[in-house]
Structure formats: C-alpha cells, structure tokens
Amino acid sequence: MAKSKKDQSFAGLTEKFAKNIYATAKGQIRLAVLARDLAPYYEQQQPLRVLDVGGGIGQFSEYFARHGHHVTHTDIAEDMVAAARQRHQEAELSESYTYHCASLQQLPEVLKGQTFDVVLCHAVLEWLATPADALPLLKQLLKPQGLLSLMFYNRDAKVMANMVFGNFDYVEADLQVKKRVRMSPQQPIASAAMENWLAEHQLAVTQRTGVRCFHDYLRHREAAKEHFEQLLRLELRYNQQHPFAALGRYQHWQITHADD
C-alpha cells in the first residue's frame, strides 16, 4: 500500500535551512525579487497588518517591520519560530512582531478570525500534502482589498531544468524518485493548476514574476558567484516578461479577491 503524503516542516533543520536557502546566490535572488515586487506595500506610510505563513526565520518580513508595519509571524516548527524571534530581537524589531507556532491549517482557529492587509505565503504550498487545500484558508485570512503574496515551486521550470541537464529518466518518470530528499520540495505546482485553484476560489492574479529565470539554467554555476550583480540585474530586468517569467524556478504571484 502506498504511503499517504504528509505535510513537511523544517523542524530541526534551522541552521541548514538558513545556510542552504539564504546564504547562497539563489537565496539572495529570491529576497531581491520579493523586495522589488512588494516595495509598493512595505513602503506605504499607513501601517499594515501582515501575516507571514510559514515564515521560517523571518528574513523577508523584516522589510515590513522596518517600515513600521505589524507582522504576525507563523511557522509549524518551534525551532524556526524561536530562531526568528531571536533574529528580530537582535535587529531590535521585536515590538513589530507577534509569533505563533502553528500550521497553515491551524491558523484560522489560532488567529481567531483575524484578517490581514498582506498575507505572505512564500515557498510553503509545495511542502503540503494537498497544496490546493491551502487556497481557501489563505483567502479566509485575507482582508477585502488585501494582497496575497504567493510564491510557489514551479513544476514547469523543474521539468525544463531537468531536460536541460539531461535527466531524461527523471522527467519520463514524471519527476518521481524512490528516495525523498528532505530539503527538496516534493510537490511542485504547475502554473495551469494554480490558475485553476485560484479561479475556483474567486482569487485573481494581478502580477506574475519568475524567481530565478536564468540562475537555475546556468551551465557553469560558479558564474552566479563571479558575476552575481550582473546576473541579478538581468533577473530583475526580464523576470516579469514573457516568456522568461514562466521559466522561473519559483513563481511569485500577487493575488487579490476577484471582486476587488
């Protein structure tokens, strides 16, 4: 009998997560893209209420905290929440934060009906057993006229990258492997599937950005370090343009209620 899929967390992997995700060129590109995309929101003078779902150690939400907005930081892993709290204390940002250790599925109850001007959900859905079920929960947490900042692991880009690097058997096996790698997302999401889920729940995309449209296709990865500033400039130049945006390893979509 096949094992049922379970949600994954990074419990016990805080240091490895920080090293593998953000202390790299790919992590720096991710943060730079999100910072550019969401600047019109965190640079607002009117204080916003921000929810960071699966916020990890809390790097990106600091853009909002530093501009005077209040952030509710959540993560399923207790050590991630503790690391985020310590990080924000060291940065003298703690007064701008509230913390909860909870899964996405628990948030409506934990937050007792609260809704938010901005909901950040970055690189979370691909770790869930049933990613589609997240959309109505995220909508429930979003104020009317609010913004859902959704970043998800792009299945189409994963197919493309593996074809470029000659992993034909893996692609032919529909991206399935016998042994799971804990730090590698197991539920990449095709853009067409995401569009269908959003439409089903009356959510509309207002902006699409590809994250790492070029980096992950480099033949010589050392070029990312040697020419990082130039690579980043080109990523930012092209990552909202067709066809490059669709090739981003992650997709960052800005989403609102369809009737807004």
What is the C-alpha separation between 16 and 29, in angstroms, rounded? Answer: 18
What is the C-alpha separation between 38 and 28, in angstroms, rounded? Answer: 15
Which two three-digit tokens encode residue 3? 């094992």
Helices 228-238, 25-42: crossing angle, 10 deg rounding = 50
Asked whether residue 66 is marked as a ligand-binding residue, the answer is no
> Hey, how many other C-beta atoms are within 10 angstroms of the C-beta on 20?
14
Beta bridge partners of residue 253, listed in sequence order: 150, 208
Distance of CA 235 to the CA centre of its chain: 17
DSSP string, 71-138: EEEEES-HHHHHHHHHHHHHTT-GGGEEEEE--GGGHHHHTTT--EEEEEEES-GGGSSSGGGHHHHH
Asked whether residue 68 is marked as a ligand-binding residue, the answer is no
Asked whether residue 75 is marked as a ligand-binding residue, the answer is yes
111 Cβ contact list (under 8 Å, min separation 6) = 51, 72, 100, 141
Q: Which residues are annotated as a binding site?
A: 30, 54-55, 75, 122
Q: Which residues are annotated as a binding site for S-adenosyl-L-methionine?
A: 30, 54-55, 75, 122
